[in-house]
Amino acid sequence: PMRSQVAVPDEQLKYVIESLINPLINVKIKYKYVMCGNTDFGYTNEQLKKQFSDPSTCCVVDCFNKVIDNINYMFLGRVAYTNHVLKDMESFEQFGATQYKKQFDHVFCKNVFGNEHKLVKCSDHLKYDTKYFDIYSSVDEIPQKYKQQMQTTIYQHLTSISLNDKQQVLFAHSPPMNSKASMIAADRYAGSYDMRHFLETTKVQAMFCGHIHQAALMAKDFKDEVNGCQVCSVSNTGIDGPSYYQQMFYLVYENGECHRKFVDVKPFK
């Protein structure tokens, strides 16, 4: 959901359940796993995982894996670090990554809501109510209760759910760094260095990720792989749903070109 429209965690939770989860429960699919994204607040994410854990109806996952028919399906949606998704940790400079220079606010969603109401505009140009969020302008200001959420890197998350004796498919919100499409608009779609390092050091057959399909459409060219892993872009619901499910969008890559198409479907009931 767009934060400019649903800016409060408990309101967002209600919106996601009504607009996405409930309709999805009625879809006839054998396994239904849903990943939270970078617009889902930490509170919303945790509540959804508690309420929806049955894949036959709907299972909300974060860092998770499931072996089905000898294939290890890995999911990495939202790492519980601030209000953003998949931020590379400074420790990955050891692999040659450049330290992230841009200054940005660190916004943590409170587990227990406060009483004070004060709107603060942050570096992502959105306003956050201090009743629901704790805001820090630098890493040094972040207290230990939140810092401990930042200790596990993306690479470590992925390694913890990887099984080298299985074929593997990865679903991730973010693309790996330096994929062809992501470099077109590098400031916004730079991708994850940790993700790329994982693919370069671990055998993965295919990866499906969001946030680069816009760039792929601009280039009309998307054919990429990392260490034999086919990197495929998929549409993310923050742009194409869930309120637009009556027109399901999908991407077709053929002959080196990318085309965005949609198919009319009956409303879910």
- Kindly write down the DSSP assignment for every residue of 162-205, as one continuous string: --TTSEEEEEESSPBTT-TTTTTTTTT---BHHHHHHHHHS--S
Q: What is the pLDDT of residues 172-197, one digit of tens each?
A: 877 777 665 454 444 444 567 788 88
| CA 148 to the chain's CA centroid | 20
**Which runs of consecutive H residues, i.e. helices, occur in 9-153?**
9-16, 22-25, 42-51, 144-147
Residue 250 has pLDDT above 80, yes or no: no
Rounded distance between C-alpha atoms, residue 141 and residue 135, angstroms: 9
Name the strand (E) or helix (H) holding 154: helix 154-161
Rounded distance between C-alpha atoms, residue 31 and residue 243, angstroms: 22
Quick one: how many helices (H) and strands (E) in the chain?
A: 8, 15
Which residue ranges form the domains of the chain, and what is each CATH number?
9-97+152-264 (3.60.21.10)
Contact, 196 vs 170, CB < 8 A?
no
Residue 162 has pLDDT above 60, yes or no: yes
Q: What is the pLDDT of residues 199-231, one digit of tens each?
A: 999 999 998 887 655 545 545 555 577 899 988
- In 3D, which of 77, 105, 61, 35 has the Cα closest to residue 192? 77
Q: What is the pLDDT of residues 94-136, one digit of tens each?
A: 555 554 555 678 888 898 999 999 999 988 788 899 999 999 8
pLDDT of amino acid 142: 86
Contact, 78 vs 173, CB < 8 A?
yes
Rounded distance between C-alpha atoms, residue 206 and residue 208, angstroms: 7
Task: State how beta strands 229-233 and 206-209 pair.
Answer: parallel
User: What's the whole-number average pLDDT of the chain?
Assistant: 76
Select the more confidently predicted residue: 29 or 17: 17
Rounded distance between C-alpha atoms, residue 13 and residue 18, angstroms: 9
Select the more confidently predicted residue: 36 or 54: 54
Residue 7 has pLDDT above 70, yes or no: yes
Rounded distance between C-alpha atoms, residue 93 and residue 193, angstroms: 10
* Global pTM value: 0.77
Residue 70 has pLDDT above 80, yes or no: yes
Coil/strand/helix, residue 216: helix
pLDDT of amino acid 55: 96
pLDDT band, residue 140 (cuts 50/70/90):
confident
Coil/strand/helix, residue 120: strand
pLDDT of amino acid 53: 96
Count of positions (residues) in the chain: 269
Q: Averaged over 68-77, what is the pLDDT?
A: 94
Peptide bond into 242 cis (omega under 30): yes
Q: Averaged over 88-99, what is the pLDDT?
A: 52
Please give the angle made by the CA atoms of 74, 209 and 174, to the nearest 5 degrees. 95
Amino acid at site 46 = E
Residue 112 makes CB contacts below 8 A (sequence gap 6+) with: none
Contact, 15 vs 1, CB < 8 A?
yes
pLDDT band, residue 31 (cuts 50/70/90):
very high
